[in-house]
């Protein structure tokens, strides 16, 4: 059992505003629309729920920590309203199945609305959320967490939908099989649900989680807000905060996007302007932005982050909010080192998405221009 100290800090509405912006950027187009998540978190706070963040290194080694997040297509999570207690039902069903009490909740992915779901469930359960996640961004599949990559078995797990259905995945022979079965189930449940995985020990999560995820997202959001208040370029503020660089500026001239197998898949075509006049870029989509190419040449590739922003406001544009004619800036941000190991690249590198002919090359850094 965790005590009430350990350096915990409480989330307030001002922090939630910054978290919406930061998680939208780190979502690389996916993770669900953070605006919807922000509204849900704000409502929970106004109802009197307390949301506490626990520093990663303060988690006791023997603590039972459950990772949680939404599963399904971001477009569905944007258009279909949640019931609200899906995450809490996941926690309680998992506790009943295993005969335990959960000590803390961890975030599966800090990107997008998935940064918000653990906060709501944890607040309702009276638990803290650990300042970490399993991706440092968003990925489309469940086996693509640092937790799974470095040895955690996610089953038994629980999936809950807005209708009240509770599904237990008792055992999967691999993390990939868990993803396949859960993906089939979420399609049957309407395309978007909430899933909680088997508990991790505090000792494990301190070694293999992406650290400081909530702190980072809030700090990133505050950097954007400060730039807007000071009439500075928010895009440049993001690059400075995350050691990123602008790789393209242009206007979306074509957009192919469809729902298949529980994913949003497609491609955005961008015609360059300003310094990129005469160039054409493309961004490949599978819930998130995976591959950035300029004039047919790949420049940035997963697991490094590809972010599409409104060129003027610096607001992140998620895959479901892309529109023809939008003026955008495309950013590249380096991923966490835990995602660049050989074992990680087998899962979250280009091979993990079926691009066997592509080899991951870490992006270059700098404010704007240049090839990776």
Mean pLDDT of the residues in the chain: 92
Query: Under a CB-based contact definition with an 8 Å cutoff, are residues 105 and 29 in contact?
Result: no
Over range 103-114, report the average pLDDT. 95
pTM to 2 decimal places: 0.91
Classify 107 as helix, strand or coil.
strand
Distances (CA, A) of 274 to 240, 248, 250, 327: 21, 10, 8, 11
Query: Under a CB-based contact definition with an 8 Å cutoff, are residues 196 and 158 in contact?
Result: yes
Q: What percent of the chain has pLDDT over 70?
A: 93
The pLDDT tens digits for 200-232 are 999 999 999 999 999 999 999 999 999 999 999
Res 261: pLDDT: 63
Closest-CA residue to 150 (of 210, 103, 94, 71) = 210
The pLDDT tens digits for 313-347 are 889 998 888 999 999 999 999 999 999 999 999 99
The pLDDT tens digits for 250-301 are 999 999 877 666 667 889 999 999 999 999 999 999 888 999 999 999 999 9
Q: Is the pLDDT of residue 365 over 70?
A: no
Q: How confident is the model at residue 371 (pLDDT cuts 50, 70, 90)?
A: very low
Instruction: Return the CA Rg of the chain.
Output: 19
Among 56-60, 267-271, 362-366, the least confident range: 362-366
């Amino acid at each position: 059992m965790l005590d009430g100290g350990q350096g915990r800090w409480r989330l307030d509405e001002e922090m939630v505003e910054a978290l919406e912006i930061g998680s939208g950027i780190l979502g690389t187009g996916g993770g669900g629309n953070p605006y919807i998540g922000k509204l849900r978190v704000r409502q929970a706070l106004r109802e009197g729920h307390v949301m506490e963040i626990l520093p990663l290194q303060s988690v006791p080694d023997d603590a039972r920590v459950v990772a949680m997040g939404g599963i399904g297509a971001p477009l569905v999570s944007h258009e279909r309203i949640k019931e609200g207690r899906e995450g809490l039902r996941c926690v309680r069903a998992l506790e009943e199945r295993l005969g335990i009490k959960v000590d803390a909740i961890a975030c599966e992915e800090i990107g997008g609305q998935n940064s918000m779901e653990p906060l709501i469930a944890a607040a309702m359960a009276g638990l803290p959320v650990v300042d970490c996640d399993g991706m440092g961004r968003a990925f489309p599949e469940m086996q693509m967490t640092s937790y799974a990559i470095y040895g955690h078995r996610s089953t038994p797990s629980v999936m809950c939908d807005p209708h009240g259905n509770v599904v237990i995945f008792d055992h999967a022979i691999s993390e990939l099989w868990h993803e396949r079965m859960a993906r089939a189930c979420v399609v049957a449940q309407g395309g978007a649900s909430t899933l909680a995985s088997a508990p991790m020990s505090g000792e494990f999560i301190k070694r293999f989680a992406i650290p400081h995820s909530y702190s980072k997202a809030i700090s990133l959001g505050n950097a954007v807000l400060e730039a807007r208040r000071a009439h500075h370029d928010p895009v440049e503020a993001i690059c400075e905060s995350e050691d990123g660089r602008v790789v393209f500026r242009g206007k979306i001239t074509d957009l192919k996007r469809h729902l298949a197998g529980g994913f949003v898949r497609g491609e955005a075509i961008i015609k360059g302007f300003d310094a990129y006049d005469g160039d054409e870029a493309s961004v490949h989509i599978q819930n998130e932005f995976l591959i950035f190419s300029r004039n047919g040449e790949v420049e940035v590739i997963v697991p490094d982050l590809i972010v599409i922003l409104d060129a003027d406001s610096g607001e992140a544009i998620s895959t479901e909010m892309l529109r023809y004619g939008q003026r955008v800036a495309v950013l590249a941000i380096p991923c966490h080192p835990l995602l660049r190991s050989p074992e990680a690249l087998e899962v979250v590198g280009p091979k993990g998405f079926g691009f066997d002919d592509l080899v991951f090359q870490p992006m270059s850094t700098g404010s704007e221009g240049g090839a990776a």
